[in-house]
Amino acid sequence: MSDSPPHDRASTLLPRSYGGLKPLQAEFLRYQEVAFPKRSTRFFALELAGETGELANLEKKEWKGHDVDQAAFVDEAADVCIALLNFANGRGIDLAEAVEAKMRLVDERRRGGPGRAA
C-alpha cells in the first residue's frame, strides 16, 4: 500500500517527460563554455537574481496601474530563462532531473501527501 494520496485530474496532467530540457541545457552549456569561460556560478546567480528582479518590477508597475508593453515581459522572461540555464550549467545541475523531482513533490504536497510541508 502506498503512502501517497490517490492521483486526481491535475496529477494526470503533470508532464510525462522533462527530457526536452536536456538537449536545450546541453546547447546552452556548449555556448556558455566558449562565450563566458571565466564567469563563475556566483556571477550567474547574481545575474539570475537581477533578471528576476527586473521581471518582478514589470509586474509591480502593471499592478500599480501603469501600462507595460507585453514585449518587456517577453524580454525579461527570456533573460530569466537564460540566466537560470547558465546558473544550472555552472553548478552542474541537471534541470530536467531536478524539475521532474520537484514537480512530483509539489504534486504530492498539493494532494496532502507525506511530503506535505508542515
pTM over 0.85: no
Domain segments of the chain as ranges: 40-108
Distances (CA, A) of 29 to 24, 44, 69, 81: 9, 13, 31, 13
**Distance between CA 110 and CA 113 in Å, rounded?**
7
- 67-118: pLDDT as tens digits: 999 999 999 999 999 999 999 999 999 999 999 999 889 888 888 876 555 4
Report DSSP state, residue 50.
H
- 35-55: pLDDT as tens digits: 988 999 999 999 999 999 999
Other CB atoms within 10 A of residue 40 CB? 10
Q: Per-residue pLDDT averaged across 2-11, rounded? A: 71
Nine-digit cell string for 55: 521581471
CATH class of 40-108: mainly alpha
Please name the residues in contact with 7: beta carbons below 8 A apart, sequence gap of 6 or more: 111
pLDDT at residue 50, as a whole number? 98
